Chains A and B, each alone.
Chain A
Amino acid sequence: MKIFLKIGIKNIFRNKRRSFLTLTIISMGLAALIITDGFIKGMIENMVKTITQGIVSEGQIHNPEFTQSYNINDVVLHRQRVERLLENEELVASFSKRVIVNGMLSSPRNMKNIALYGIDPSRESMVSRIDKNLIEGKFLPNEKSIYLGKKLFKKLELNIGEKLVLTVSQAGSGEISQEQFRVHGIFQTGSKDLDEGVAFIHINQAQKILNLGTDYHEIALKFHDRVIGENKNHELWNKLNSTGNTAETWKEVMSSFTGMLSYIDISLWITSAILMILVGIGIINTLFMALHERLFEFSVLRALGTKSRDIFLMIVAEALGMGFISLVIGIVLTCLFAYPLMTKGIDYGGMEFAEVTLREPIYYIPSIRQFILYPAGTLIFTVLVSLYPAIYAAKMSIHESLKKTL
């Protein structure tokens, strides 16, 4: 039996050009798969970072009504209990309370509707990176400061340190309330929605203007392990929901992004299938060509008493050998092409996709899965595809094949 495996492997090197072309096809297919996977992984990672380090953070807690109504009166329920729970929970790295309301900002020259966030500056910086997006001035140095996006700042035609007026309606009575703030810092996140439509003030001020007491609308969460924010079945979420509020992972908050992830998965499957079909046809074609060339040999082998099982084995061994060599070439090709993608990446320059802005370049991210699953899959596939010509060869009758070659 061993000898037939050996013959099979040796057959690869008989027609070097043909084998080379087939090897190129298989290895290119493999490399394309690995790089696509790694690049998509990089893109997702990039977007997830943008989401979880932005104001979405890794998880959020609201009044069950709030996510639908955005009503100022739908504040977080039993807040002391929730806060105590979060403080004693080891999985939670930090949390930040937020007041959220729609309001109007007017400068002496212009006005704009915004979503106003009342935040605790020191706690917020532990949950999101909004303070790190500062490009000029300071991040909420005192309670009378307001922190704006660059586009909003431009639109209102302001200067740093200048005053502007915030108009909102209060909780309960609904009375209109106005308050002056000074712009002490501006930020730039690259996201149009944030840079143009959001402003931050100190939570104490927000609660005072809105007549909210110590109530608030949102708790943003950060965990020691990011996985908790991705797994809505984690028991922590049940614990938080038992307070009567709705606790959501960032994946639930960003449902449009999560929806897109499944499309990406589907398209990756389709791409793999297409590449595999192409590679498969290439392999079958090559093996059949080799087979036809060697009909005479096969018939001689058979005439000498070789079992059809051994002929079958010989062809499968040839495919297996080609598969192995292709794996090596494929992985070398991957490294060659992936390296620039890994170090330089591709810059999408602030393109917005599924409500996430691609601010930073997308890099190829390698993973063990790519270098085990895909090569193993390719190898198995190569062998599977070779079964057809192998069975064909094994079934051939001696006198017919002898006739064909003459």
Chain B
Amino acid sequence: MLLIKMAFRNILRNKRRTFLTGTLMVFGFVLVSISLGLVDGSYGAIIEAFTRQSTGHVQIVNSQFIENKSINRKITNYESLLLRLKSHTDVNFLTTRSYSNALIYANKQTYGAEVVGIDPKLEDLATGISKRVYMGEFIRDDLESQSILVGKKIANYLRLELGQEIILISQGADGSIANDLFTVRGFIGTENGDDTFRIYMGQKLFSEFYTLHNSIHEISVHLKDIKKARTFAHELQLPTPLMARPWQEVQKDFYRAMEMDKNGNTFTLFIIMFIVGLTILNTVLMSTLERVREFGVLKAMGTRPSVVFKLILMEGVILAMMSSFIGMVLAIGINYYLSVVGIELSEPISFAGILFSQYKSELSFNSILSPYIVVILTTIIACLYPGIKSSRIRVTNALREY
């Protein structure tokens, strides 16, 4: 207790120095916190967006389909698998999809599109696809109406209208030529993103058009907790040639790029904290050099070296904790503001295939706790040398100072 009291008094002895060092610690704390908050928040929002809208958390596909999305690399007899997945406690939603390409012919022009077969009900439950339809209505899974949803860029390019009939030309799973008339039921998506170059149709219609005989290409699983994606995919027992992939593998390029960016960010923070640490070291070293005589007196009265060491360490840690507290208050405020408002980019930037349109912070445990650890650890490391040096002072030499 006496030690704490002494440490406190020492901190308050040179107020300007304490203020400057404290400011530096606060600055370091806020910097680390905002930087972590922004990285976690921005990536978190993107991951949430694309796993929710398209990839899902875990995908089950024919293992050959991954390398080459060929129409024949399909999943047959998938109903029992669906039932099994549905009963799994971790699973929230399931949806099935099929993929192929087609050339659209309308208004004397052609345009290539990716055609996606979906189960409208399941897809809407899992990804909320019907909310992305900006004009017209959502489709039903029937053969009679031949209705499809068309992506925004395709619609603009071909100058399509609602209710218009268009021709799709493609190749069926058996190699035969597939072409048929379809009715545009709605338009989907925005200028950017996957939807814009796609055509959506019901699973049955897709299967009929491409002679797929009731097969699909992908089961997308939405879990209750995204963090379980890896273990879920890993533990799932599937018959060959099927395999389950967590979103980290589905969006491999993005995941890798994100990890690299995070590492780069950590490196920058490391340099900044190194400079902060040097300044702390400088200050503490000076404040101990000033007091060499005091330490000499303390030791002459029988204070053990470890106590002197503790005293110096305590001074640093107390200052670091006080600064961190102020830093935390500031950081929570700024992070909260940035998590609500976000920094909108005037033009979205594509990053490893994923569109990045705003910086957003996140008020997480990580963005508050990590800076605490970083600042206090930096301080402790910076205090070690002055602490050890002061504790080893020889009484005779120390008392001779002055």
Contacts and interface: CB of A to CB of B under 8 A. Distances in A.
B278 A71 contact: no
Contacts of A70: 157
B350 A21 contact: no
A327 B113 CA distance: 58
A25 B347 contact: no
Nearest to A71: B109
Contacts of A109: 70, 175
A376 interface: no
Given A104-B169, A289-B283, A353-B352, A113 B112 contact: yes
A14 to B, nearest CB: 12
Contacts of B89: none
A279 B275 contact: yes
B31 interface: yes
Contacts of B113: 113
Given A109-B70, A255-B347, A274-B31, A173 B108 contact: yes
A22 B31 CA distance: 21
B17 interface: yes
Interface in B141-155: none
B251 to A, nearest CB: 12
Nearest to B282: A21
Given A106-B171, A169-B110, A284-B20, A32 B271 contact: yes
A72 B171 contact: no
A29 B275 contact: yes
A18 interface: yes
B108 A174 contact: yes
Give the bracket for the number of chain B residues in contact with chain A: 35 or more
Interface string B264-281: 000010011011101101
B346 interface: yes
A110 B64 CA distance: 14
Interface string A89-114: 00000000000001110101111111
A81 interface: no
A260 B112 contact: no
Interface string A274-309: 110111011011101100110000000000000000
Contact of A104 (B24, B108, B112, B260): B112
B347 A18 contact: no
Contacts of A111: 101, 170-171
Contacts of A278: 24, 27, 272, 275-276, 279
A24 B278 contact: yes
A174 B20 CA distance: 74
A284 B21 CA distance: 10
Chain A interface mostly: helix
B82 interface: no
A21 B285 contact: yes
Contacts of A228: none
A168 B105 CA distance: 9
Contacts of A282: 24, 275, 278-279, 282
Contacts of B20: 281, 284-285, 288
B257 interface: yes
A354 B282 contact: no
A195 interface: no
A104 B103 contact: yes
Interface in B68-124: 68-71, 101-103, 105, 107-114
Contact of B17 (A106, A110, A275, A289): A289
B9 interface: no
A271 B68 CA distance: 43
Interface in A14-59: 17-18, 21-22, 24-25, 28-29, 32
Top-8 shortest CB links A-B: A113-B112, A174-B108, A259-B347, A169-B110, A104-B103, A282-B279, A21-B282, A111-B171
8 contacts: A18-B285, A112-B101, A174-B105, A174-B109, A278-B276, A281-B20, A352-B351, A353-B257
